[in-house]
Copies of this chain bind each other. A is one copy, B any other.
Amino acid sequence: MTDRSPAALAGRLLAGEVGAIARAISILEDGSAGAHEILKAAHAKSGRALLVGVTGAPGAGKSTLVDSLAAAYRVEGRRVGIIAVDPTSAFSGGAVLGDRIRMQRHSSDPGVFIRSMATRGHFGGLSRATSDAADVLDAAGYDVVLIETVGVGQDEVEIVRAADCVLVVLVPGLGDDVQAIKAGLLEIADVYVLNKADREGIDRLESEISMMLSLAADPNGPRPQIVRTVATAGTGVDLVVGAIASAREAAERSGTAIERRRERSRFRLVELVRERILSWAAGDAAGAGALEAAAEAVHRREIDPYEAADRILGAFAARRGKVGP
């Protein structure tokens, strides 16, 4: 019989066992029993993988690009983890379906592990779960972890922002609203991937990006690269792999690589603290009581929301005080 203890599971995931990896990520995602022990083991062995964030507007072809990148890394013999962050699927369950379809494409290759992450409940936790999953894949020996997310929404942008290398995928000829989304992503890019480069408008798109870069770029900082692809045909994917490697090298040389990893630790902690206190306020009996009583008083307009938040925090601190720090 398999030993299903967290310690045994951690051992199996560090050995690269696919079933154990999947189960560990689920436990971390749900925050169920053993989560801390598993994360502790994975985190201690992490720090080796290259984390690549891939983001862009809906319809830019991110999934296809990520799949092609995975294939290119496989040719180099590197193991690839893919984390597809789907902020919408909390409602629709869409992630699971997408997951299955993509799984089939790589099903014969044990060197590729694909996982979709969806939001759970009202209290976020998506970026925390994504970081945890990246640690697991890293510790399990995946050389490259590709984190893919739609580039809209502040949580979603934060998720990729702190990766070792950020690809922003753009396509020619989308509408005005989408242009606005692009604008929101431009400052976080290490590599601009101009996908669907066989389409009309690609030259204009490239000159827009170039112009923007020459206006905005820090003259002393590393200059983001621009690469054209047709991901559906595999065209230009090797150039993207090369651009990632050279962005990575430049970051190591300039010291920004380590600074980003520090920033990632900081952001991750902030997210964890948020989640801890909110799950207390929502789940713990005393916490739930404090939240409900405060919400009811706000609803009746007996107190204002700011005062109510202070009451909840006071209750939290008092309870922590009793247990000890």
**Contact A270–B299 (Cβ < 8 Å):** no
Give the chain B neighbours of A315 by CB distance below 8 A: 325
A248-274 residues at the B interface, CB under 8 angstroms: 261-262, 265-270, 272-274
Q: Which of A71-79, A84-92, A218-226 contacts B (4 or more CB under 8 A)?
A: A84-92
Per the bound structure, the CA–CA distance linking A2 and B41 in Å amounts to 61
Tally of chain A residues near chain B (CB < 8 A):
91
Interface: A291 (CB within 8 A): yes
A114 interfacial by beta-carbon distance below 8 Å: no
- A70-114 CB mask vs B (1 if < 8 Å, else 0) is 000000000000000011111110100010000000000000000
Question: Are B58 and A299 in contact (CB-based, < 8 A)?
Answer: no
- How many copies the complex holds: the figure is 2
Q: Does A19 contact B (CB under 8 A)?
A: no
Q: Is the CB of A122 within 8 A of B158?
A: yes
Is the beta-carbon distance between B152 and A155 smaller than 8 angstroms? no
Q: Which residues of B contact A124 (CB under 8 A)?
A: 154-155
Return chain B residues, CB-CB under 8 Å to A158.
Answer: 122
A294 within 8 A of B: yes
A273 touches B268 (CB 8 A): no
CB pair A312 B39 closer than 8 Å: no
CB pair A44–B150 under 8 Å, yes or no, is no
Q: Tell me which residues across on chain B come within 8 A of A6, comparing CB atoms.
A: none
Q: Contacts A91-B187, A272-B306; is A295 near B262 (CB within 8 Å)?
A: yes
Instruction: Identify the interface centre among A57, A262, A325: most chain B CB within 10 Å of its CB.
Output: A325
- Residues of B near A188 (CB, < 8 A) are 91
Report if A230 contacts B (CB, 8 A).
Answer: no
Q: Which of the 9-residue segments A176-184, A198-206, A236-244 touches chain B? A: A176-184
Neighbour of A184 across the interface among B89, B123, B308, B320, CB < 8 A: B89
Tell me which residues from 282 to 325 in chain A have a Cβ below 8 Å from any Cβ of chain B: 282, 291-292, 294-296, 298-299, 301, 304-318, 320-321, 325
Q: Mark A43-70, 1 if CB is under 8 A from B, else 0.
A: 1101100000000011110000000000
10 A-B pairs with the lowest CB-CB distances in the bound complex, closest first:
A153-B153, A88-B184, A314-B325, A317-B320, A272-B309, A92-B183, A58-B177, A59-B175, A266-B295, A40-B304
